[in-house]
Structure 1
Amino acid sequence: MPRPEQGFAPRLVRRAGRWCRRRPGLAAVCGAAGLIVAGAVWIVVTGVLARHELLAAQRSLESLRHQAAPGSPAARTPEDAVREASARAAGAHRLTTGPAWYAAAHMPVIGGPVRTVRGAAEAADRLTRDVLSPLAGTAGELVAGSGTDAGHLDLSALRRAAPALHEAARSASDVRADVAGLPRSTWLPAADRARALLAGQLDRIVPATVEAAAAARVMPSMLGEKSPRRYLVVFENTAEARGTGGLPGAFAILTADRGHLGFERFGNDSELAKVRASVDLGAEYTAMYGRHVPTGVWVNSNVSPHFPHAARIWSAMWREHSGERLDGAFSLDPGALAGLLAAVGPARLPDGTAVTAANVVDLTERTSYSAFPDTAERKAFFLDVARATSEVLLGGADDPARRSALFAALRGQLREGRVKVWSAHASEQRELAAHPFAGVLPDGPAPFAGLVVNNAAGTKLDYYLDRRMDWRAGRCTAAGREVTVTASLTNRAPDSGLPDYVTQRVDRPPYGTRPGDNRLLVSYYATEGARLARATVDGRPAMLNQMTERGHPVYTVDMELPRGATRTFVLKLVERPSDRAPQLLQQQLVQPLRITARAPRPCDG
């Protein structure tokens, strides 16, 4: 390997020096050229070193993400990883400052990658110094404080941390905006890759800091810092689809008192089957769903995908049933339980059956219907599962590693929308509404796409439902942007072996059906102001019900879905021009919705 003094750049400098010495009349030119060459060499050398420091900082940041994963070994503390990343990022920033870097960044042609590397180094330094270091320190204080009270969270410390977390979230958003403004397609691929990697990390970090700041503002009061709180927790059965996810089945009353959580009682849907509640959710809701059915029947209380509607209905029903006012409501499904059990280990039923991350969905949404043909026995089994999993999730609060793994898993389920939260206190609900776990159907003109199914047959066949949706923007016309939405639904129910309760058709259709045939109300939620040009099902014109919910045009088709069949729903729409990809509604069922959606090209002019 050649020594540094034998490299190409030193050889070039020596040759240029000899050439200039032979031409004394060009001393000024040679002097300027020498400065340029020296500056270029300096930028190359320090750029290579800065890239090494940036990559090391990014590896430390990635290690933080892996440490947060449930079950990952804790080789070092988050504080150590942040400290190392901060030192590396500061080193990269120092290497990319100074007159040579400033001048090169403002030169035409060559300045693009220089600006990108310089800006990325500065952004990484600000990220680790102003965002991650305060966050790590705050987290350390909270964990240390929680050990003094039987493992429960120190709510006073969390409230004191709120201003620092708010400032960290603001700084993180500023850094992401600055990185987004850096040149991203330069003639130096290595610089582009460094910017893209940093941008990807910021896309994960910024929402996390925003969530942490919001949690610090609302968690103390929601967890009973000043006075005890009581919440309804509803377990949704996604084998029978509803707008927010699945049929509301078993429930529990959760209490929170100065950070101590406990379950007061458990019940099933039979207890609330005859309860009626009067809730005014507005003229738009009444026009779409009817005045009485959703607000008056427990099993249809969450047909709207807007979770606050369901939560308000549930709260009103509980007050009608018990006379007690609730402070809010939560919902979760077996998929959420699977994610949480993966972090803390299995639960045990009274008969010794293990309920694990691997089997909880299958136990509650498939095999239980064969194992317990009697409805009362099956509902008792569901309550046993709810009690057992709740005990294991709330147990072991004095184990910091277990508690940390559970919190990380809970954050994941909240982001996926499998755990939803609503507060009956207006100030808290305003904070929650900005996050995915609030289950809010957003209003406003931004591009939007949502596929929602409600089971209309009374079957439990949505366990076998596959869904796909493709959103594709087309050309721009004088009327607006053309958009094509293609939704395919497949019923993969087996030919035989399903219990009658799973395949029963309580809708009693006026046409012949086979066991395993299903019926769905399939709704597409479009961008505000969208207009329908054409709709087909399996290539034939379709009759749709057209309504509006929270400003979104909603197009609904009543679809019979035979066992083993795939049916395709296509909408041709005209929307207001935009070059942004749509915000997507994610209705969580047993099988995930597979979505393809790309940002459109800007319209000319």
Structure 2
Amino acid sequence: MSGHFLPPAAHRVGRVLAWSVGSLLLLALVAIGWVGIRGSMAFEHMNALKADAPSLLSKVAADPAAAGDSLRGLIEHSAAARELTSDPIWLLAEGTPWVGPQLNAFRVVTASTDRLLRGAVSPLIEATRQVPLETLKSPGGRLDMSVLAPLSGAAESSAAIAQSAAGAVSDIDRAPLVGRVDVAVEEADALFTRSAGALDAFSRATKLLPSMLEPGAPRTYLILVQNNAEWRSLGGISGTVIQLEWNGQSISLGQTISAAALTRLLPDAGSVLPADIESVYQSRPGRYFQNLTQIPDFTFDGPLARDMYQAATGVEADGVLSVDPVLLSYLLTATGPVTLPTGGQLDAGNAPALLMSDVYAKFSRPVDQDAYFASAASLVFGKLLSAQGSMAAMLSGLTRGVEEHRLRVWSANADEQRVIVGTPIAGDLPENDPETARVGVFLNDGTGSKMSYYLKPTVDIAWSGCPVRSEDARPDLTITLSIASDAPADAATSLPAYVTGNGRYGVPPGSASVVGNIYLPEGLELVAATMPDDASYETATIGTHQVVTFGALLAPQTQKTVTLLVRSTLTASRAEAWVTPTADPALDPVVEVDCVPSSPALVG
């Protein structure tokens, strides 16, 4: 009624305002519908891509050059998803509260997926079409690593693009993300990081292997075969050393010698170790070849092994590689089984149990056990060097070994070592970076036995203090290590005396003594520790790492738990624990967790 008293101009303004508001609401509804429809379509493409990706990975592992057709199908999905989430209306909607960050995260993931597939994976697969990996097998029945050199350019470019794509996903602000979007971004972040790491490793391999096996340049390398049945920080004792000879044209296996025999040849004084290392490990790593991998830093262990080997044999090596029986089982997947001199076959399925458990039931004398272990390892490498089996499967097995910290490499050549440094095969101590706090959980046998085969370590790391995070309030990190003994209840009598240690060092037969060292890099500081049975612990410093040392005694079918509370002064929101690789391939030696701050208004 009151409208009759308004002047005509006001009526016109009112009509314009109503029309404008109505138009804006209509446009908003259209935009919401547009984004919703396109988002739903993009989601379907990403789901299809996620479902088909495992088959591509299998084909890449079996034959990279033949994976092109499957890759083209994935790229069609990724390109469609990227196009559907990159139009102006979508970008405008990213500026809206609450919904906008979800849309932005989805767009970044779709764009990065398309970039990874089209910019990194596709060119590398095309390059392997031109230089198939099977050409690593020369006509003379040997490995020819020079074949990798032409792939170096494409591999380096692919690795750089993959790293950029991974960085874009990692940089997504996850604080405002909710529900399934947050989980999906977390999964994508882990996948992109892993993919970038794998491509970087392949890129470095295309540079490193042709250099380490350069035509006309003879080299001698040592292969340390660790035995995870008796824990050392990097996996197990250095049970056997195989001498690998490159005469400038072909590879052959030289002498194979047990670590026990090498130790007997060493001068009594052994190698002098730095004072900080001796404060934790005493002089044992420098006096006993079996113990050098107690030090969880292969950039130190590699030169130490070379020096100790030279002192014992007079042979100066050009580099050192470290492997374990689990990695050998991965390589047997590529080469096929080998026939053992004692009868029977060693294959991918039985290698860990045969080399780390059954051998002690077969042979009672340590010298016979050493010979069996050394013979089996030599046969696997012999078959590998004769280029038998699938080269793609071999590279796949090596890649898995690298990811699980079962393959370490050190080169005496400074240029080659620069290529290795900073990669997982370098085997250096865990260090923090701006995004990730890293700790080391390293385990050593204190029984003088092979009881580590029956021990299962489980590590859990968790941030506290999320979602609160500021310069004055950093979250704490809780590290929980649980070790369970799966040894039979009657282990004292049912297992061979050599396996139980027979009480030689004061440990009851059937029980296992474990000495743990938890490494905390600079920026992480121990606040409190809870030990099993109220046992004591000690702290020391090695380089820039605080080292927490403790002991635990496990009877058969028991479990012990150690908990550390660590204060962080870092900006990192991700944490990793590097754990000693065990005889069980199902136990992942790398444990990861995220601390993602989120808005309290969105909780619940």
Match of 2:201 among 204, 211, 219: 211
Q: Could you say if the C-alpha distance between residues 406 and 532 of structure 1 is closer, same or farther in structure 2, counting changes exceeding 3 Å?
A: closer
Q: Distance in 2 between matches of 1:289 and 1:188?
A: 47
2:516 alignment counterpart:
522
1:231 CA drift (Å)? 0.9
On the 8 A contact 2:538/2:550 being kept in 1, the answer is yes
1:236 alignment counterpart:
226
Match of 1:255 among 217, 224, 245: 245
1:420 CA drift (Å)? 1.8
Q: Distance in 2 between matches of 1:385 and 1:254?
A: 15
Match of 2:544 among 548, 551, 567: 551
Partner secondary structure for residue 494 of structure 2: coil
On the 8 A contact 2:263/2:287 being kept in 1, the answer is no
1:192 CA drift (Å)? 6.5
1:497 alignment counterpart:
494
Partner secondary structure for residue 379 of structure 2: helix
On the 8 A contact 1:456/1:507 being kept in 2, the answer is no
Q: Which amino acid aligns with 2:485?
A: N
Deviations 1:379-400 (A, max 9, x none): 2222321232223333444x6x
Q: Could you say if the C-alpha distance between residues 315 and 190 of structure 1 is closer, same or farther in structure 2, counting changes exceeding 3 Å?
A: closer
Deviations 1:398-449 (A, max 9, x none): x6xx121121112111211122221122222232232222221134576333
Partner secondary structure for residue 241 of structure 1: coil
1:141 alignment counterpart:
130
1:407 alignment counterpart:
395
1:371 CA drift (Å)? 1.6
2:264 alignment counterpart:
274
Q: Distance in 2 between matches of 1:428 and 1:141?
A: 26
Q: Distance in 2 between matches of 1:162 and 1:25?
A: 64
Q: Distance in 2 between matches of 1:352 and 1:93?
A: 57
522-531 or 354-363, larger mean C-alpha shift: 522-531
1:96 CA drift (Å)? 4.0
The answer to whether the aligner puts 1:84 opposite 2:73 as a matched pair is: yes
Match of 2:371 among 366, 374, 380: 380
Q: Distance in 2 between matches of 1:195 and 1:572?
A: 28
2:559 alignment counterpart:
566
The answer to whether the aligner puts 1:393 opposite 2:390 as a matched pair is: no
The answer to whether the aligner puts 1:286 opposite 2:278 as a matched pair is: yes
Match of 1:460 among 436, 450, 457: 450
1:531 CA drift (Å)? 4.5
On the 8 A contact 2:137/2:143 being kept in 1, the answer is no
1:424 alignment counterpart:
412
Q: Distance in 1 between matches of 2:340 and 2:56?
A: 35
Partner secondary structure for residue 311 of structure 1: helix
The answer to whether the aligner puts 1:362 opposite 2:357 as a matched pair is: no
On the 8 A contact 1:135/1:165 being kept in 2, the answer is yes
Q: Could you say if the C-alpha distance between residues 41 and 425 of structure 1 is closer, same or farther in structure 2, counting changes exceeding 3 Å?
A: same
Q: Distance in 1 between matches of 2:354 and 2:116?
A: 45
1:246 CA drift (Å)? 0.9
1:82 CA drift (Å)? 2.4
Q: Which amino acid aligns with 2:496?
A: P
The answer to whether the aligner puts 1:224 opposite 2:241 as a matched pair is: no
1:314 CA drift (Å)? 1.5
Q: Could you say if the C-alpha distance between residues 241 and 54 of structure 1 is closer, same or farther in structure 2, counting changes exceeding 3 Å?
A: closer
1:108 CA drift (Å)? 4.7
1:111 CA drift (Å)? 3.8
Partner secondary structure for residue 411 of structure 1: helix
Q: Distance in 2 between matches of 1:332 and 1:75?
A: 25
Q: Which amino acid aligns with 1:359?
A: N
Match of 1:352 among 335, 343, 346: 343
23-32 or 342-351, larger mean C-alpha shift: 23-32
Q: Could you say if the C-alpha distance between residues 318 and 435 of structure 1 is closer, same or farther in structure 2, counting changes exceeding 3 Å?
A: same
Deviations 1:118-167 (A, max 9, x none): 44443333222221121112222231682683376664553343233222
TM-score after normalising by structure 1: 0.82
1:492 CA drift (Å)? 3.5
527-536 or 385-394, larger mean C-alpha shift: 527-536
The answer to whether the aligner puts 1:67 opposite 2:27 as a matched pair is: no
1:536 CA drift (Å)? 4.2
151-160 or 114-123, larger mean C-alpha shift: 151-160
Partner secondary structure for residue 252 of structure 1: strand
Q: Distance in 2 between matches of 1:243 and 1:193?
A: 33
Partner secondary structure for residue 242 of structure 1: coil
Deviations 1:293-343 (A, max 9, x none): 321221222211112322222111222233222111112222222222233
Aligned residues: 571
Q: Could you say if the C-alpha distance between residues 457 and 92 of structure 1 is closer, same or farther in structure 2, counting changes exceeding 3 Å?
A: closer
Q: Could you say if the C-alpha distance between residues 27 and 365 of structure 1 is closer, same or farther in structure 2, counting changes exceeding 3 Å?
A: closer
Q: Distance in 2 between matches of 1:148 and 1:344?
A: 13
Match of 2:287 among 296, 299, 322: 296
Deviations 1:341-380 (A, max 9, x none): 2333211112431112222222222222222112332222
Q: Distance in 1 between matches of 2:523 and 2:35?
A: 52
Match of 1:440 among 422, 425, 428: 428
Q: Distance in 2 between matches of 1:556 and 1:369?
A: 30
Partner secondary structure for residue 442 of structure 1: coil
Match of 1:129 among 114, 118, 127: 118
On the 8 A contact 2:517/2:548 being kept in 1, the answer is yes
